[in-house]
Amino acid sequence: MSKQTVSKEKEQERYSTFQVLSRLAKYTFRPSLFVPLITAVIISGAVDITMPTLMGKAIDAIVGPGNVNFAYVLKAATTMLIFYIVGAGMNYVFNMLSNKSANRAVRDIRRDAYDKLSILPLKYYDTKAHGDIQSRFINDADMVGDGLVQGVAQLLSGIINIVGSLIFMLILSPVVTLAVLVVTSITFLTASAITKMSNKYFRAQQALVGRLNGLSEELIQGAKTVKLFNYEKRSQQRFDEINGELNITGRRAQFAGALTNPTTRFVNHLAYISVGVVGGAIAGISAGGISSFIVYSNLFAKPFNDLTSIATQIMTAIASARRIFEVMDETGTEEDANDSVEIENSEGRVDFEAVNFSYEPSHPLIRDFSLSVEPGSTVAIVGPTGAGKTTIVNLLMRFYEIDSGAIKLDNIDIRNIKRESLRRSFGMVLQDSWLFEGTVRENIAYGKEDASDEEIEAASKFAHAHSFISKLEKGYDTYIGEGTTLSHGQMQLITIARTVLANPPVIILDEATSAIDTVTERRIQRAFEKMMQNRTSFVIAHRLSTIQRADIILVMDAGRVVEQGKHEELLEKKGLYYKLYNSQYASEDEQE
Amino acid sequence: MFRYVKGHLRPYIKQCVLGPIFKLLEAVLELMMPILMAMLIDNGVDTGDTSYILKIGGLMALTALIGLLSALVCQYYASVASQGFGTSLRSSMYKKINSLSARTLDKFGAATLTNRLTNDINQLQQAVAMLIRLVIRAPFICIGSIVAAMIIDIKLSAITLIAVALFAVVLTVIIKLLGPLYIRIQKRLDNLSRVINENLSGVRVIRAFAKTGREKDKFKNANESWTSDAERAGRIAMLVNPATMLIINLSVTAIIWFGGIRVNVAGVTQGELIAFINYMTQVLNVLIVISNLVQLYTKAYASLNRVNEIMALPDSDKGTADAAPDFTAPAVEFEHVTFRYGDEENPELYDVSFKLNAGETLGIIGGTGAGKSTLINLIPALYTSYTGAVKVFGADAKEYDRTKLRDMIGIVPQQPQLFSGSVSENIAFGKEDIKSENITEAIACSSADFVYSKDGGLDSHVERGGRNYSGGQKQRLTIARAIVRRPRILILDDSMSALDYATELRIRRAIRKITKENNMSVIMVTQRISTVTHADKILVLDDGRVVGIGRHEELMENCEAYRDIATSQLSQQKGGEAV
C-alpha cells in the first residue's frame, strides 16, 4: 500500500498537469476537425444566447386581450424557428465532431502506447503486472476518451454560454445581473465543497469495491479448494468483512454524491426568485425581460453547476492519460543499431566469452562464464528448481542484455545482429505452452505463414500431434480460444509442431516435455533427437534421463554454473550433478 | 421475479416508503414555483406592487428551502436502503455460490459468477436508489407539469402533448439504433483487450518468432475497428442533445405564436404564458431523466435475471445423510464407478473398482487424460453424478455431511492454489485450531523452509492466487497445507511436478514417516514410476479404465501398460536393472 502511494507521488512529479494536458492536446486538436468544430460551437452558442432576447421581446408584444402586436410576434416566431433549426444543426455538428476527435485521439494514444510496448525489453514484461498494463490500454484509454468528449465539449460550450449570456444580461439590466452573479457564485462554492467531500468518500468506496472484487474473484476461482478444505465459513467471514465496510462507506459516498443536485437546484431557485424580485421590484424591467433573464441566468449558471463534474471528469482523464503516457515513456527499447547485420542459415556456433550478468545489480548471477559450443552439438542445462536455468535462454535470445563480455553466434557478437534475425535462428519450446486465439493451423504456421497444408501436417506428425488434431471436431481448423479444452500436453505438442515447421538452425528446449506423460514424452523425445541431429541445441530439463547424451552438461545452482562437463565426468566428480542424478531414481526407502 | 431479492429490501421498507414521499413533497413544491412566478409577474411586476413582489418572493424562497430539506431526507433514505440492500444480497449470493456443487461451478465458470456477484448486484443496488429517488418524482413532475399546463390553458397544452409524443418517438428510435451498436463496441473492446493480453503473455514466443510486425497489424486492425464503430455510434448518440433542444425550442416558439392568439382573446394572461413556457421546459427536462431511467432499468432487468438464475440454483453441495465413519473399514472403496462430467458420450471413468485399506498406500499411475484427477475428485464428493458407489470408511461418500467427510481428507491438488493472506493462514487454511508447532512441522515435512528466509517468515504476505511464489514454492506450501490437518486420508495429485528430484525425494521420505506414525492412508497420483514402486497397491489407469492393479513386481509381470510406462522411464538408468 505504502509502496503504491510512493510510486503515485513519483508519477505526479514526473508529469505536471499542464504537461499532460498539452500532450493530450496534440492528440486531440487537429486543424481539419478543430476549425469546423469551433465554428459550429460558436454558431450554436450564438443562437442559444440571442434567442431569449427575441423571445422576451415577443412576450412584451403580447400584453393583453386585444393588445397583441401580431406582426411583430409573427416576425419573431419565424426568426426563432429558422435560428433554432440552424442552431440545432450546428449543435449536432459540434457534438459529432468532438466525439470524432476524441475517438481518434483514443485510437492514436492506444496505437502509440502499443508501438512502445512492442519495442520494450522483456524486463518490462517480466516485472510489471499484466493486468495493470492491460487496464491502462483499455480502461484508462476509455477514460481519456470520455473525459475528452464530455469534459472538453462541455467546457467549450460552457465558456461560450457564460460569456454570451453575461453580455446579454448586462445589456438587459446590470442590477439583476449582479444578483445573478452573487447567487451563481454561491452555487459554485457549495457545489465544489460538496464535490470535494464526496470525492473523498468516493475514492474510499472505489478502493473497497476493488478489494471486494479481487477477493470474490480469487475465492470463486478457488471454489473447489475452498470446498476441499472446508473453508466456506471463513471465506464468508472474509467476504462479509469487506462487504460490511463497503456498506458504510458506500452509504456515505452515495449520500454525499447525491447532495449536489438538490443543493444546486435550491440555489438555482434562489437565482430564479432573485431575478423576479430584483427585476420586478428594483430594476423595474418588463415581464418579457424577466422571462429572458430567467433563461439567461440558467444558461449562465449551468456551466458552473456542471463545472465540478466536468472538472472531475477532466481530472480522471488526466490521471488516466498519465498512466498511459507512463507506458509510452518507459525507458529502454529493443531497437537495433543501424550497422547491425542480418544472419541467415546460421551454422550454429555459439560462444560465451567471459559473460557477466545480473537481473539486479546487487545480486550478480552469472560471473565470468565462458563456453564454446561447436555447431551441431548439444548443451544440457540442469540444476535444482529455481537455479536460474532459464537465464541462459534469456541471454541467448537477447531478451536480456549481458552486463559485460560477449555472446557470439557464428563468431558475430549477437549485439551486432538484428534481433529479429537472431531470434529467427533459434527455435524455442518453453515449459508454458503459449497459443494465441485462432485455429490450430494458424498456430502451427506461426513461424512460417506461407506453409502448405502438407508441410503443416508433416510437422504435426513429426511432433506426434497429428493423431489428436485429426480427432478434433474440426481437425486443423479447430478454433483455440475460450471454450476449447485442449490439455496442457496437447497444447505443448502444438507448440512443438510450430517449432518443427519453422525449422531453425539452433533449438532451445526449456522443460519442453514436463507437462507430457512419459509414454508420449518418449515418443516426442525421438522427434527431438531427430531435430537435434546436425543442429546446435540447448536443452533444459529436470528429468535427467533426457540429457545424458549431451555433449556438455552445465550444472547450475543459485543462478551460477557450478559444474560443467560430460555425464560420466560429472558423475565421477560426485558433486551436485551426482546428487541430482541419484535422487531421481531413489525411492524413499533407500538412505541418502 | 422478485422472489430472491425482495427479502433483502424488506428491512428498508420505511426508507422505501418515506423516501419517495419526501421526494414527492419536493416535486409538489417545485411545481408551485412557476405558478408563484406568474402571480409575481401578473400582480406585482405589471402593477409595480413592491411589497407584493417581496411577499411572493419570500414565499418562493421558503418553498425552495423546504424542497431542499425534503430532497435531502429522501437522498439519505435512498443511500441507506440501496447500499443495505446491495450488501445483504451480495452476502447471500456469495453464500449461495459456496453451496453450489463443483459441477454447477464448472458449468457457469468463475468469471460469470464473479461478474454477477459484483457488477450485476451493483446494477440492482443503483436501481433501488433510483427507484426511491427518481422513479416516483420524474413521472409525477412530468404529469404534474402537463396537468398544470392544462389548467392554465387546455388549448395551448396540445403543443405540450405533441412535443412529448415527438420526444418519445425520437428517443425510442435512437435507443433502438444504439442498442446493437453498443453491444458491438463492447465486443470490439473485448477483442482489443484480448490482443493486448496475448501480447503480454506471449511476448517470448512473439519475439522468438520475430512476429512483432504481425502482432502490430493485428492490434491496428482491432484498434481501427473499435474506432470506426465508436464513431458510428457517436454519430447517432450525439443526436439526442440537439434533437431534444430542437423539440423544446420549437415548442416554445409555437407557444409564443399560439399564446399570442390566446392572450389576444383573453384566454390566458401574459404571466400565465411565461409560466406555461416554464412548465413546458420542465416536462422535457424530466423526459430526458426518464429516458435515462428506461436505459437503467433495462440493464437492471437483465442483471436481475442473471442474479435470479444463480439464486434459484439448489444448494447441491450437501450430504444426503449424516453417516458415521468406521475406521476399521477400508479407507476408500470404489465399486463399479462410471462417471461423466457432463453429457459427453465417453465416460471419464468406466467401471472402476478398487479398495484401499486403512493405513496403506495406493499409487495411481497413467498418462495425461487417463482420469487420475477425476478419480480422486470423487472421494471428497466434489462430483456425485456417477453410477456405482464410492465408500469412505465403510459409508457411502454421498451420505456423509460434506464438512465431516472433507475434514477426514487432505488433498494436494495438481494446480497449487494459494489465497491472499499470510503464509500461516494459507497453511492452516480452513482449520482455525491449528497449533504453531504443527505448522512448523508441516513446513519441515514439505521442505518449505524457504518461508523462513522471507522477511516476514510465517507472516509473509501471499498475494492473490499466490502469484508472488514460484510454482515449486506453491507446491510445497500446498503439501504443508494438507499435512498440517493430519487427515485420515492424504491424497497427492501429481503435486511435485515442479520440484527437482532431490527435493521430491526428501518430501516423499518425510511424508512416508508422518503417515506411518499417524496411521494415515495415502493416495499418490503420479506419472513417475519411482514414486509408486513401494506402494502397497498400484492402480494403472488408461483412458478412464483400470488396466492393472497390484504391486510393482506383479504389474511388471502382467500389465503391459505399466511395463510400457516403466520402460519409458527406467530404461536408461543403471543398465535397466529394474526392467
> Cβ separation of B465 and A423 shorter than 8 Å?
no
Q: Which long-range contacts (CB under 8 A, 24 or more apart) does A200-203 make?
A: A201/A249, A201/A252, A201/A253, A201/A256, A201/A257, A202/A253, A202/A256, A202/A257
ipTM for the whole complex: 0.82
Q: Which residues of A touch B494 (CB under 8 A)?
A: none
Residue B173 falls inside a structural domain? no
Which of A74, A385, A526, A579 is the best residue to mutate to test the B interface, defined by the most B CB atoms within 10 Å of its own CB? Answer: A385
The CATH number covering residue B19 comes to: 1.20.1560.10
Which of A47, A220, A233, A390 is the best residue to mutate to test the B interface, defined by the most B CB atoms within 10 Å of its own CB? Answer: A220
pLDDT at residue B570, rounded to an integer: 61
Residue B6 is part of which domain span? 1-151+296-316
Is the model more confident about A555 or about A549?
A: A555
**Does residue B551 share a domain with residue B463?**
no
CB atoms within 10 A of CB B533: 21
**Does residue B36 share a domain with residue B110?**
yes
The shortest CB-CB distance from B246 to any of A84, A254, A386 is to A84
pLDDT band for position B392 (cuts 50, 70, 90): very high
**Does residue B387 share a domain with residue B304?**
no
Q: Which residues of B touch A426 (CB under 8 A)?
A: 208
Last residue of a domain, one of B316, B350, B370: B316
Which of B248, B392, B500 is the best residue to mutate to test the A interface, defined by the most A CB atoms within 10 Å of its own CB? Answer: B500
Mean pLDDT in residue range A461-477: 85
**Does residue B312 share a domain with residue B329?**
no
| pLDDT value at A41 more than 60 | yes
Task: Tell me if residue A428 falls in helix, strand or coil.
Answer: strand
Q: For chain A, what percent of residues have pLDDT higher than 90?
A: 15
**Does residue B529 share a domain with residue B468?**
no
Per-residue pLDDT tens digits for B6-42: 899 999 999 999 999 999 898 888 888 888 888 887 7
Mean pLDDT in residue range A469-477: 84
**Does residue B11 share a domain with residue B72?**
yes
Per-residue pLDDT tens digits for B202-221: 888 888 888 888 889 999 99
How many domains are there within chain B?
3
pLDDT at residue A590, rounded to an integer: 47
> Cβ separation of B501 and A583 shorter than 8 Å?
yes
Per-residue pLDDT tens digits for A295-341: 788 788 778 767 767 777 788 888 888 889 988 888 877 788 888 88
Residue B179 falls inside a structural domain? no
C-alpha radius of gyration, chain B, whole number: 36
CA distances from A138 to A132, A142, A325 (A): 10, 6, 14
Average pLDDT, chain A: 83
**Does residue B393 share a domain with residue B501?**
yes
Q: Which residues of B touch A518 (CB under 8 A)?
A: 367, 527-529, 565, 568-569
Q: Is A237 touching B (CB cutoff 8 A)?
A: no
Residue B31 falls inside a structural domain? yes
Return the residue matching grid coordinates 517449432.
A499
| pLDDT value at B575 more than 50 | no
**What angle in degrees, to the nearest 10, is found between the helix axes of B471-483 and B501-517?**
0
**Does residue B130 share a domain with residue B93?**
yes
Give the distance from residue A240's alpha carbon to the nearest chain B alpha carbon, in angstroms: 6
Q: Is B83 touching A (CB cutoff 8 A)?
A: yes
What does the angle CA B508 – CA B540 – CA B478 come to, to the nearest 5 degrees? Answer: 35
Mean pLDDT in residue range A280-294: 76
**Does residue B395 share a domain with residue B301?**
no
> Closest residue of B to A517, CA-based?
B367
The shortest CB-CB distance from B83 to any of A236, A247, A592 is to A247
**Does residue B497 share a domain with residue B392?**
yes
Residue B437 falls inside a structural domain? yes
Task: Note which residues in 35-54 of chain A have CB less than 8 A from chain B.
Answer: 51
Mean pLDDT in residue range B286-303: 81
pLDDT at residue A433, rounded to an integer: 76
Mean pLDDT in residue range B428-432: 85
Of the candidates B519, B517, B523, which has an alpha carbon nearest to the alpha carbon of residue B539? B523
pLDDT band for position B345 (cuts 50, 70, 90): low
Tell me which amino acid residue A229 is: F
Model confidence pTM above 0.90: no
| pLDDT value at B388 more than 60 | yes
Which of A1, A54, A111, A216 is the best residue to mutate to test the B interface, defined by the most B CB atoms within 10 Å of its own CB? Answer: A216
The class of domain A17-170 in CATH terms is mainly alpha
> Cβ separation of A91 and B241 shorter than 8 Å?
yes
> Cβ separation of B91 and A122 shorter than 8 Å?
no
> Cβ separation of A122 and B204 shorter than 8 Å?
yes
> Cβ separation of A62 and B264 shorter than 8 Å?
yes
Of the candidates A500, A514, A332, which has an alpha carbon nearest to the alpha carbon of residue A427? A500
Of B288-292, B373-377, B481-485, give the lowest mean pLDDT range.
B288-292
The CATH number covering residue B546 comes to: 3.40.50.300
pLDDT at residue A3, rounded to an integer: 40
Q: Is A91 touching B (CB cutoff 8 A)?
A: yes
pLDDT at residue B426, rounded to an integer: 92
**Does residue B136 share a domain with residue B53?**
yes
> Cβ separation of B83 and A251 shorter than 8 Å?
yes
Q: Is B216 touching A (CB cutoff 8 A)?
A: yes
Q: Is A247 touching B (CB cutoff 8 A)?
A: yes
pLDDT at residue B380, rounded to an integer: 93
Domain boundaries, chain A: 17-170, 350-583
Task: Note which residues in 301-360 of chain A have CB less than 8 A from chain B.
Answer: none
> Closest residue of B to A431, CA-based?
B498
Mean pLDDT in residue range A573-588: 73
What does the angle CA A499 – CA A505 – CA A508 come to, to the nearest 5 degrees? Answer: 55
> Closest residue of A to B367, CA-based?
A517
Give the distance from residue A248's alpha carbon to the nearest chain B alpha carbon, in angstroms: 8
Q: Is B328 touching A (CB cutoff 8 A)?
A: no
Average pLDDT, chain B: 87
Mean pLDDT in residue range A371-387: 83
Direct distance between the N- and C-terminal alpha carbons of chain A, in angstroms, rounded to an integer = 46
DSSP annotation string for B94-160: HHHHHTS-HHHHHHH-HHHHHHIIIIIHHHHHHHHHHIIIIITHHHHHHHHHHHHHHHH-TTTHHHH
| pLDDT value at A239 more than 50 | yes
Q: Which residues of B touch A76 (CB under 8 A)?
A: 256
Of the candidates B102, B104, B14, B173, which has an alpha carbon nearest to the alpha carbon of residue B376? B102
Per-residue pLDDT tens digits for B145-159: 888 888 888 888 898
| pLDDT value at A1 more than 60 | no
> Closest residue of A to B55, CA-based?
A277
Per-residue pLDDT tens digits for B162-198: 998 998 898 889 888 888 888 888 888 888 888 888 8
Give the distance from residue A542's alpha carbon to the nearest chain B alpha carbon, in angstroms: 6
Q: Which residues of A touch B409 (CB under 8 A)?
A: 228
> Cβ separation of B500 and A580 shorter than 8 Å?
yes
Mean pLDDT in residue range B289-304: 82
Q: How would you write A515-559 as a 3-class SS string?
A: CCCHHHHHHHHHHHHHHHCCCEEEEECCCHHHHCCCCEEEEEECC
Of A102-116, A154-168, A411-425, B43-57, give the lowest mean pLDDT range.
B43-57
CATH superfamily of A350-583: P-loop containing nucleotide triphosphate hydrolases (3.40.50.300)
> Closest residue of B to A108, CA-based?
B223
CA distances from A402 to A363, A372, A414, B141, B242 (A): 14, 17, 11, 73, 62
What lies within 8 Å, CB to CB, of B475 at 6+ separation is B412, B416, B495, B496, B497, B498, B499
Report how far residue A223's alpha carbon sits from residue B106's, in angstroms, rounded to the nearest whole number.
10
Report how far residue B293's alpha carbon sits from residue B287's, in angstroms, rounded to the nearest whole number.
10
Mean pLDDT in residue range B458-464: 86
pLDDT band for position A136 (cuts 50, 70, 90): confident
Per-residue pLDDT tens digits for B225-273: 999 999 998 888 888 888 888 998 899 899 888 988 888 888 888 888 8
pLDDT band for position A5 (cuts 50, 70, 90): very low
What lies within 8 Å, CB to CB, of B292 at 6+ separation is none
Mean pLDDT in residue range B419-445: 89
Give the distance from residue A81's alpha carbon to the nearest chain B alpha carbon, in angstroms: 6
Task: Note which residues in 40-79 of chain B have CB less than 8 A from chain A.
Answer: 40-41, 44-46, 48, 50, 53-54, 56-57, 60-61, 63-65, 67-68, 71-72, 75-76, 78-79
> Cβ separation of A244 and B87 shorter than 8 Å?
yes
> Closest residue of B to A268, CA-based?
B64
> Cβ separation of B98 and A255 shorter than 8 Å?
no
Is-contact A100 A33, C-beta < 8 A?
Answer: yes
pLDDT at residue A482, rounded to an integer: 59
Give the distance from residue A341's alpha carbon to the nearest chain B alpha carbon, in angstroms: 15
Of the candidates A520, A467, A465, which has an alpha carbon nearest to the alpha carbon of residue A497? A465
Report how far residue A455's alpha carbon sits from residue A465's, in angstroms, rounded to the nearest whole number.
13
pLDDT band for position A110 (cuts 50, 70, 90): very high
pLDDT band for position B352 (cuts 50, 70, 90): very high
Residue B70 falls inside a structural domain? yes
Q: Which residues of B touch A327 (CB under 8 A)?
A: none
The shortest CB-CB distance from B403 to any of A55, A230, A240 is to A230
Residue B261 falls inside a structural domain? no
Per-residue pLDDT tens digits for B495-548: 887 787 788 888 989 999 999 999 999 999 987 788 888 899 999 998 889 999
